[in-house]
Structure 1
Amino acid sequence: MSDLTNAATSAPRVTVIGTGYLGATHAICMAVLGFDVLGVDVAEDKVDRLNAGEVPFFEPGLPELLTKALDSGRLRFTTDYAEAGAFGDVHFLCVGTPQKPGSNAADLTYVESAVSALAPHLNRRSLIAGKSTVPVGTAARLAGLVRELAPSDEVELAWNPEFLREGFAVEDTLRPDRLVFGVASAWAEEQLRAAFGPVIENGTPVVVTDLPTAELVKVAANSFLATKISYINAMAEVCEATGADVQQLAQALSYDTRIGGRFLRPGLGFGGGCLPKDIRAFAHRAEELGVGQAVAFLHEVDAINRRRRERTVDLVRELAGGSLSGVRVAALGAAFKPDSDDVRDAPALDVARMLQEGGAIVRVYDPQAVENARRAYPDLEYATSTFDAARDADVVVLLTEWNEFREVDPNALADVVAHRRVVDGRHALHAEGYRAAGWEYRALGRP
C-alpha cells in the first residue's frame, strides 16, 4: 500500500468521532495514509485499548496497521471533545445508528449526542462529515443543530457515507470503489477532496451530491444487496417445492451480465449490524415521508430472510427423524459472516437458539466469535474446535462459511460424530465429497 501512504501537501487534520468498527478503521487508515488523526470516544476503556495498540474487534489486517499508525506518531485517541475541536479541520462522524428497541426506526441518539458534544468546541472554520448511516433528512437537521451550538458561524456539515464490508474493511477504506460527497458548498467539497487526496489520486471515482442524496446512497445500496440475497433465497423456496436445484439456478443466472453472480448465493441469508436494521429503518423513514409503498417490497425481503432461519431448523429436524428432542447438534459458526467476530443479528446464533428451544442439545463453535456469542447467548454451550463441537453429534449444521469449516475432511469428521448427517446452511461444503464419505447431505433449495 506504499502508493497510498503520503497525504497531500497542506492536508487537513482529522478527527474521527466514535471508535467502533467504522470509526476505528477509518481513524487507523487515515493515519496510515499520512494524516494527523485524533480518534474520539466517550468510552475510556476503548480509548485506552486503542492507544495501547489493541483493536477491540476482529478485522484482518487492522491490528498491524494500528501499530504502524501509532508508531508514526500520527494517531492517538482521546475522550476530550474540547481537544478534538481544537485539533481538527475535518471531523468525521462515525457513531452507531442501531435499530430503536420496539421499532424499525433508526436510533439517532448517539449521532445527536456526538454533534452536541463537539459543536460547542468549534470556534473556527471546520467541517463535520457524517459517515454514519442515517435516515434521509438527518443531515439537514444536524446542520441546524451545528448552527445553533457552534461558536463559529463558518462550521459546515457534509455527508460522506461508508461502504465497508466486514472482513475487507481495510481494503474498502484505502481503495474504495467510490467516494460520495454530499455537500452544500464548494468549500466543503474541497475539504473532503483534501481529506481523501491519496485515495482519489489512486483512481477512486468521486460522486458529488446534495445532502439528501448522499444519505440515500448507503441505504439504497444496502436495500438492493439485501433484495438480491432474498431473491435467490425466494427461488430456493420454489426449488424446494419443485425438486429443482437453486445452486444450479444461481449459476445459470450469474452468466447474465444484467444480473451477475455477486450476492446471488443461496443459503441462510444476511445478518450483521447493517443490512437488517438499514432496510427496516429505510422502510420506516419512507412511511414517515408518505412514500412507504415505494419500498414496501423491503418488508418481504426481510420476511424471506427470516424464513431461511426457520427453514434451516426444519432441515435439521427432518434429518434427525422428525423431532429435535434430545438431538445433539454441532452448530458450526456464530458470526454473521466469516472473517468477523460480529454476532449482531447473526443468522447462525438465531438458528442455534431455535434448535435449543426445540429441544436439541446444541454445541456452538466459531473461530473468532465465541466470546461475543457467549455474551449474547450465555445459555448455549460452546466448543473449542470443530471436532470438539461435532463429537457425538447426531447432526452437524454449517451456519457460517469460514474456510476452516470448508476445509474439514468429511472422513475425519465422520470419525467423531454419532451419525453422518450434515445440513449445509451456506452452500459452502462439497456435497459430493460428503456424500461419498457416507453422509446424508441437505442444503436449502437443493434436492
Structure 2
Amino acid sequence: MSQEWKMIRKSLQLLFCIGSVWCAASQEAGAADKITDLDASIARGGRLYSDWMIELDARPPEKLHQGFVGEGSSQKVISESWRCVSCHGWDYKGANSLPGIRGKVGAVPSEIVTILKDQTHGYQDYLEPDDLLDLARFISLGMVDMDQMVERGTGKAKAYGLAQRPFFETVCAMCHGAEGQSLPGVSLGHFAIQQPYLTLHSIFNGHPGAVMPSLRAFEEAKLIELLAYMQTLPESASLVSIVRGGRLYDNWFMETGRDVPEGLHPAYPTQMEVEVKPKQTWLCRECHGWDYRGKDGAYAKGKHFTGIKGIADKKGADVREVMAILKDDTHGYGALLGRDDLLDLANFVREGQLDMDVYIDSTTKKAKGNYQEHAKFYPTICGNCHGPKGRAIRTMGALGHVANEDPWKALHKILNGHPAEEMPAWRSLDEETIKDLMGYIQALPKKKRS
C-alpha cells in the first residue's frame, strides 16, 4: 500500500469517527429535545384540560356542549360546559355525575384524539391537531394519582407543611406574595385548602393563559410539600393589606404621596353647596362616611352629606369586583392608584369594615365601654405621641374633641392607623378593649390649651 493511499485511508477513518461522534451527539440531542417537547406538550395539555378557551384565547362555542349534564343557557354556563374539567373533575375521577378519565392513563394518544373528536366530545371544530395531541398526551401521561397526594376526606396534602417554604418564598412569592395574597381575588391559602386538587393541577401544569410556570419537572414529593405549605398560608387577606386599605380609604393621597386632580371629583354632587375643600371630594370617606354607610349613616345630614350610599353592601364581595368598581368611570381611581393600592383598598372594603354600632351608640355618640377597665392602654401606648391629655399634636384637634364630635372617625383611625404616619393600627385588639379605649379617649379634655 502506497504512502499516499495510507494517508487517504487515515483521513477517511478520521472523518468517519468525527461523523459517528456527530451522529451520536445529534441523536442524543434529538432525544433530549423530544423529552423536553413531550414534557411541555403534557403541561400544555393540562392547561387545555383546565380551560382551553383561555389557553388559546379562543371565543367560546355558542351552544351548550352536547355531553354536559347541567342547567342554564347563559354564556358562562355554555363556556363551562366545554371545559374538560367540568365533566371529569380536578381529580380526574368525574364530576357532575359524569365518569372520570383515569382509565385512560397509558392509553395511546392517537386513540384518545379519536375520542376527543367523536360525537360525544366534538372538539375537532375548536381545537387544532396539535392542541388535540397535547390534550391526549396529558390524559395518557400527565394525570397524577391525586389520592396518593391528598387525603380524600380532609383535602390536606400528605406532606410536611414547612418543607418547601424556601421554594415558595423565592419562586411563587414573586407573583403571589409572601403570604399568597398579591394577586387580586386569589388567596392561595384559601385556594389550597378549599380546592387542593385544582391547586395541584395548576402546580403541575401552570395556569391557562397566564405566566405561571409548570413545575412538572420537579419531583412529585416536592410539589406535594409545596401544596402542604400553601395550605398553611392565611385564608383571608393579610391584616397588613387591610389596615393599609383603611388608611387609603381615610386619605389615599396622603398615604401614597400621589397628586390629587384639580377641582371636584366628577361623581361628587354638583347641585349641592360644597362645604369641604375640593381635594377632599376625592377621598373615599368623604362620600361613604367614617361609618361606611354614606347617606344612611352619620353623614345623613350636615356639611358632609352627599346623598351617596355607603359601601357596607360590599362586605364579603369578590376582590376583583371591588377593584373593577374602584377603576370604573364613576370612581376613576385606576389612573390615580397603583395595583397594590387598589388591592389593599379592595381588601379593606371586602374584609375591613366593622359594624360600628357594636362599639358606638349612634344616638348618643358614646362608646359602649367602661374605659376604667383598660385605663392603662392610653397612657402607655397612645400618650407617647398624643400626650397624657390628648393635646400634644398641634396639627390636629384635641383627641377628646375628635372622639366626641366624630367617634366613627376616631374608631376608624384606632383600627387602621393614620395615613403616612407611624401611628400603629390596633385592629388586633379584642372588641372590649377597643370599646374601653374609645371610652377613655372620649373622657379626655375636649379643648386645646388656650
Classify the TM-score, shorter chain.
under 0.3
Give me the TM-score of the superposition, normalised by structure 2: 0.27
The structure carrying a bigger strand percent of its residues is 1
Give me the TM-score of the superposition, normalised by structure 1: 0.27
